[in-house]
């Protein structure tokens, strides 16, 4: 994707060659010994190269073609004058120096490319040894030492502690730790943002923490939320507990001139599993590259602990918030950030939220919720939309009936007295038989019709980047396994057909029949689900734009390294935050060039800058102007460019028009 070398490199080389030549020639004329002549040669050459590099690749020069042409002309005239002067005054031609400098300009990038290709090939080889064709889905393995380190717990602080890594907030003083791999980054892990939802607080809205002057260690992740067992998720290696309402802050230890913008990440995994300890959410490398941003990740309640309707259970009238506890946890985390992030150097008035899959869906809901108003001003949502939650309480109530049957409980009081493990065991059976928990469009916390709320400006003042995946359904397969995947695809297609009018439903059936002639009926249905996902995400962007929100659209069209693993949430997450090792665990390889582009654009978004790249702002990349909706940034294997995408979303005749009416 990047150019190995550009005309700008050659322009820098011209002046650098003069520096090397003049440094040696003048020192020699002065009678200096050979070693000092070489020192003078490299000193002047490298100095001029550094100066010219800053000038030529500056925004002033690179932003317009006119400024580049003027700069090139000036450089050539300076070189010509210097070249003539060297011949007339020193009797030395710089031709050999220019030739040698150009050899370096061309040769070093090629060598670097070859080295990177070897490293990439080695990574791919290791991945294929583990995954083969990817038929088993994700296999995120960790050795015993990694698992042990991941599950270390914060201990009471006794005696002296590292004051350089200490931050005082209203809820306590927290002692973090410098990241040993990246450096210049401090992690504060496992900080509680609400009271533990245990005992009588089970299935209750999160309660704020009291003020405290106590000192707490913050060097290890808090427990992940109680969740179903899933072999495709890294959370299977991490301890779980009801006491899970913790967050993590990552900040550079470099001094900042002012308050830093804040980026809060919502984890993914279908409202039923996952957590902030997932290596895909490790953000140290991003903060190291962009030290003027504060990163926050957090946990929230999942599954039957976070999304369940108890209204029909005796005693359930006191648990009206139970269907959307996970969302209330998220609001509590954002309120903690609003109140305390300034202590970490963050700006509470410049909070951007980013979510992926279920995390993105949560953000879409919170954007329209009165309870979350003012807690964030920008949102990056990838593969999420407000259609994923339940529109009626039928399924949540059915989940509750299943829970009562599995636990043999008959009242909420009995459910509250159950051990967490008993609830978890019951949830595992329910998940296998009925599916995932999800938020409820209850009309209280979140609107019953989010799209109408968007059109009526419920999300006013929030700027969005909306990301559409092109190959997400096989990512689901990687998480839920082959049988779960088949059930998911079949049930999703059935739900799609049930919700469509006669004409679009007939078009979907006809499409499945046509595609099945060249592949299989199941593969045809999987293609329908992928297209449906893309259309739903696109529709949410369209409705937000209708409501007056500023929206930028992105289409993730990259092919997976291993076809059966798909390309979507996992690849996007790792690319955005440069998590090479994490993506390798999930069967992929980060494209470093693309990662640098996406990270730079994300940084501009968080900072409030225009989503534009001037030429060579990311070295070797042409200028890029990410135009707002309905244009989209199309990310493919060979380029990033702004284009229209309506034709990419579906092959089913009339479905897009029906969805967007």
The predicted structure's pLDDT at residue 1? 66
Chunked into runs of 10 residues, the chain (661 residues) has average pLDDT values of 88 94 92 93 94 95 94 94 91 88 91 91 91 84 84 89 93 90 87 97 96 94 90 79 97 88 94 91 92 97 95 95 97 97 96 96 97 97 92 90 94 95 91 80 95 93 96 82 80 90 94 92 93 95 95 95 89 93 90 94 96 94 94 92 92 91 82
Residue 512 β-bridge partners: none
Closest CA to 570 of 232, 299, 246: 232
The H or E element containing residue 39 is helix 34-56
The predicted structure's pLDDT at residue 613? 95
658: CB partners within 8 A, 6+ apart: 500, 501, 503, 504
The whole-angstrom separation of Cα 555 and Cα 267 is 20
The predicted structure's pLDDT at residue 298? 98
Q: How far apart are the first and last CA of the chain?
A: 38
128 prior amide bond cis, ω within 30:
no
Q: Length of the chain, please?
A: 661
Closest CA to 261 of 347, 355, 378: 347
The whole-angstrom separation of Cα 489 and Cα 480 is 11
The whole-angstrom separation of Cα 493 and Cα 522 is 10
Residue 613 β-bridge partners: 624
The pTM of this model reads 0.93
The DSSP code sequence of 233-268 is SGGGGS-B-S---EEEEEEE-S--SSPEEEEEEEP-
Q: Residues 539, 659: contact at Cβ < 8 Å?
A: yes
Question: For the chain, where do the domains classified as CATH 3.40.50.1820 start and end?
Answer: 151-388+449-480+532-659
CATH topology of domain 151-388+449-480+532-659: Rossmann fold (3.40.50)
The whole-angstrom separation of Cα 103 and Cα 241 is 60
The one-character DSSP state at 560 is P
Q: Residues 324, 443: contact at Cβ < 8 Å?
A: no
The whole-angstrom separation of Cα 204 and Cα 270 is 21
The one-character DSSP state at 390 is B
The predicted structure's pLDDT at residue 183? 67
Closest CA to 475 of 139, 220, 101, 138: 138
Sign of CA dihedral 272, 278, 283, 285: negative
441: CB partners within 8 A, 6+ apart: 365, 386, 389, 390, 391, 447, 448, 449, 450
The predicted structure's pLDDT at residue 528? 95
Q: Residues 612, 552: contact at Cβ < 8 Å?
A: no
452: CB partners within 8 A, 6+ apart: none
Q: Is 481 helix (H, G, I), strand (E, B) or coil?
A: helix
- CA-to-CA separations, 535 to 298, 300, 489, 558, 643, in angstroms, rounded: 29, 28, 16, 18, 17
The whole-angstrom separation of Cα 626 and Cα 612 is 6
Q: Residues 594, 618: contact at Cβ < 8 Å?
A: no
Closest CA to 207 of 218, 196, 220, 221: 196
129: CB partners within 8 A, 6+ apart: none
The whole-angstrom separation of Cα 344 and Cα 354 is 19
Helices (H), 341-419: 358-367, 394-407, 412-417
């Amino acid at each position: 994707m990047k150019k190995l070398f550009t005309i700008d490199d050659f322009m820098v080389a011209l002046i650098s060659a003069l520096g090397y030549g003049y440094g040696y020639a003048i020192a020699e004329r002065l009678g200096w010994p050979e070693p000092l002549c070489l020192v003078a040669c490299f000193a002047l050459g490298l100095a001029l190269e550094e100066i010219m590099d800053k000038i030529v690749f500056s925004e002033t020069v690179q932003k317009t073609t006119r400024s580049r042409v003027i700069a090139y002309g000036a450089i050539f005239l300076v070189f010509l004058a210097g070249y003539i002067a060297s011949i007339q005054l020193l009797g030395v031609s710089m031709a050999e120096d220019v030739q040698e400098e150009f050899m370096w300009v061309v040769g070093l990038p090629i060598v670097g490319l070859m080295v990177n290709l070897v490293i990439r090939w080695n990574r791919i080889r290791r991945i294929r040894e583990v995954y083969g064709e990817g038929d088993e889905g994700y296999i995120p393995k960790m050795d015993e030492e990694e698992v042990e380190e991941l599950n270390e717990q914060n201990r009471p602080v006794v005696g002296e502690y590292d004051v350089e890594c200490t931050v005082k907030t209203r809820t306590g003083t927290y002692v973090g730790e410098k990241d040993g791999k990246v450096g210049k980054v401090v992690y504060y892990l496992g900080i509680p943002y609400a009271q533990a939802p245990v005992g009588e607080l089970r299935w209750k809205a999160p309660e704020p923490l009291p003020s405290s002057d106590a000192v707490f260690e913050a060097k290890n992740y808090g427990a992940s939320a109680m969740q179903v067992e899933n072999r495709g998720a890294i959370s299977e290696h991490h301890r779980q507990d009801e006491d899970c309402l913790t967050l993590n802050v990552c900040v550079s230890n470099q001094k900042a001139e002012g308050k830093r913008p804040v980026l809060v990440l919502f984890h993914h995994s279908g409202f039923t599993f996952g957590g902030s300890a997932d290596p895909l959410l490790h953000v140290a490398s991003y903060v190291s590259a962009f030290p003027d941003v504060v990163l926050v990740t957090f946990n929230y309640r999942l599954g039957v602990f976070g999304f369940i309707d108890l209204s029909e259970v005796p005693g359930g009238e006191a648990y009206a918030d139970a269907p959307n506890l996970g969302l209330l946890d998220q609001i509590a985390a954002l309120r903690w950030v609003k109140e305390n992030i300034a202590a970490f150097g963050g700006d509470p008035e410049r909070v951007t939220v980013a979510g992926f899959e279920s995390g993105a869906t949560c953000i879409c809901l919170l954007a329209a919720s009165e309870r979350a108003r003012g807690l964030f001003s920008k949102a990056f949502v990838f593969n999420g939309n407000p259609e994923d939650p339940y529109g009626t309480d039928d399924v949540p109530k059915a989940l509750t009936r299943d829970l009562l049957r599995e636990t043999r409980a008959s009242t909420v009081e009995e459910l509250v007295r159950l051990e967490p493990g008993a609830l978890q065991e019951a949830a595992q059976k329910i998940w296998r038989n009925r599916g995932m928990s999800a938020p409820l469009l209850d009309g209280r916390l979140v609107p019953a019709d989010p799209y109408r709320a968007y059109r009526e400006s419920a999300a006013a003042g929030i700027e969005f980047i909306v990301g559409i995946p092109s190959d997400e359904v096989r990512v689901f397969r990687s998480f839920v396994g082959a049988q779960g995947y088949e059930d998911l695809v079949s049930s999703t297609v059935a739900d799609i057909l049930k919700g469509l009018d006669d004409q679009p439903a007939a078009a979907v059936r006809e499409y499945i029949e046509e595609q099945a002639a060249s592949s299989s009926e199941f593969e045809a249905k999987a293609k329908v689900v992928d297209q449906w996902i893309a259309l739903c995400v696109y529709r949410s962007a369209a409705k937000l734009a209708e409501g007056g929100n500023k929206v930028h659209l992105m289409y993730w069209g990259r092919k997976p390294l291993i076809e059966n693993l798909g390309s979507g949430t996992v690849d996007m997450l790792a690319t955005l935050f440069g998590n090479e090792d994490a993506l390798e665990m999930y069967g992929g390889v980060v494209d470093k060039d693309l990662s640098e582009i996406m990270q730079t654009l994300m940084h501009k978004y968080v900072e409030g800058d225009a989503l534009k790249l001037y030429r060579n702002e990311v070295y070797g990349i042409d200028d890029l102007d990410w135009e707002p909706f309905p244009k989209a940034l199309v990310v493919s294997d060979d380029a990033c460019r702004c284009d229209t995408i309506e034709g990419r979303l579906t092959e089913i005749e009339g479905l897009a028009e029906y969805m967007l009416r």
